[in-house]
Structure formats: structure tokens, C-alpha cells
Amino acid sequence: MKRGKTFIVSGPSGVGKSTVLNALLERRSNVYFSVSATTRDPRPGEEDGVHYHFLDVDTFRSWIVNDEFLEYAEYVGNFYGTPKKYVDAAMNGGKDVILDIEVQGAIQVTSKRPDTVRIFIAPPSWAELERRLTERGTDSQEKIQKRLLRAKVEFQTAHTYDYFVINDTVENAVRELDAIMTAEHCKPRERMEIISGR
């Protein structure tokens, strides 16, 4: 069976990444959406292994020591990370893996696995991102301005990504993501067995 590939999808808060990725999963079968591990407590309705892999701090530390994370970070006193084993199981099973992680995590993953494909999802404009964050209604105006500033900082690294998708409409963004995944499977290194096997 042909091994799957891993795709990192980054993008600022409010860009509509979840909507785009959910639509992508409907279009492409054979995709595993990576579930992060965390040391924070489950919130009501969150299931272990579905929303997160919930670990205690000692377990998380031992996974770090044993190099069992593709990337990890601390955020407001809690640890978050991408366990290797679920990613590898999916890839070995022929599935493509999507990692929804931030710029810092993307750097960690690609330094370990340079063949990981990095896709940055950007808003059509900053004004539109501000509008989406405001419309969402979950953040104060102060928090929205902080998110915008953070988005602009992250955006400075967007040119280091392999692909740059603009979420002007969900349909366009999904079409481009889908095309990128198909195209990446057409790279000669992905088809070396066919090329060398003749």
C-alpha cells in the first residue's frame, strides 16, 4: 500500500480554517485529521481521543523525553503536542494526515520531517479577517486586536510555506487544498517505485 503524506495547515485565528478543513474531509476520503495531546482538563462534551488525547503532565513529559511528539508547546500553563504514533499509523495505513498547527509547530515538524508539505491559509484582507473575528462574537474588541496583530506577525513567515491558499470563499479554498494534495502525490519522489520499477 502506498504510504500517505503529511500536510501542515496553518492560518490565523478567524480565517475559517475549521470550516475549510471540514469541507475538505467531506471531499477527500482517506484523510486522517490529527488529534493533539494536551495536559489541560477536558471541557464538557470533549472526548478523549476525539477532541484531544488527554494526558497527565508526567505522561506528557515522558513522551517529550522519548521523542514521541512531532511538535509540542506550552500555552497558558498547559502542554499541547502532536503525537507521532497516530500520525505514523495513519500514514502507514495509506492515509494522508492533516496537522492543524501554528507556525512554530510547523517549524518543529519540518525540521524533523522535511517532506512534510506546509500550507498557509490567509484571509483575503486584514479588514475581512477583522470582520470575521467580530462576527464570530466570541472575543472582546481588545482580544480581536491582539489576534489581528498576532496574525500579522505570523503572516511574515507565510512565504516560507510551500503553498499559500486564500480563503476568499470556502469553495475556492477547498478546491485549492484538494488540488495541492493531489498534486503532491504526483511528485516523482512519490512515484519512485513506479519510475524505478520498469
Residues that bind its own copies (CB under 8 A): 119-120, 122, 125-126, 152, 155, 158-166, 175-176, 178-180, 182-184, 186-188, 190-192, 194-195, 198
- Bridge partners of 97, per DSSP, are 6, 32
| Closest approach of its own copies to the CB of residue 181, in Å | 8
| Closest approach of its own copies to the CB of residue 5, in Å | 13
Q: In degrees, to the nearest 5, what angle opens at C-alpha 110 toward C-alphas 106 and 32?
A: 70
| Closest approach of its own copies to the CB of residue 163, in Å | 4
Q: Helix (H) and strand (E) counts for the chain?
A: 8, 9
Cell readout for 153 is 506577525
Pairing state of beta strands 78-83 and 69-75?
antiparallel
Give the C-alpha distances (Å, rounded to integers) separating 177 from 52, 150, 162, 186. 24, 24, 12, 15
Q: Residue 38: helix, strand or coil by DSSP? A: strand
Nearer to its own copies by Cβ, of 64 and 127: the residue is: 127
Question: How many Å is the maximal CA-CA distance in the chain?
Answer: 62
Counting every residue, how long is the chain?
Answer: 198
| Closest approach of its own copies to the CB of residue 14, in Å | 15
| Closest approach of its own copies to the CB of residue 182, in Å | 4
Nearer to its own copies by Cβ, of 37 and 165: the residue is: 165
Nearer to its own copies by Cβ, of 97 and 121: the residue is: 121
| Closest approach of its own copies to the CB of residue 176, in Å | 5
Q: What is the DSSP string of 43-77?
A: PTT--BTTTBEE--HHHHHHHHHTT-EEEEEEETT
- Which among 25, 53, 22 has a CA at the least distance from the CA of 39? 53
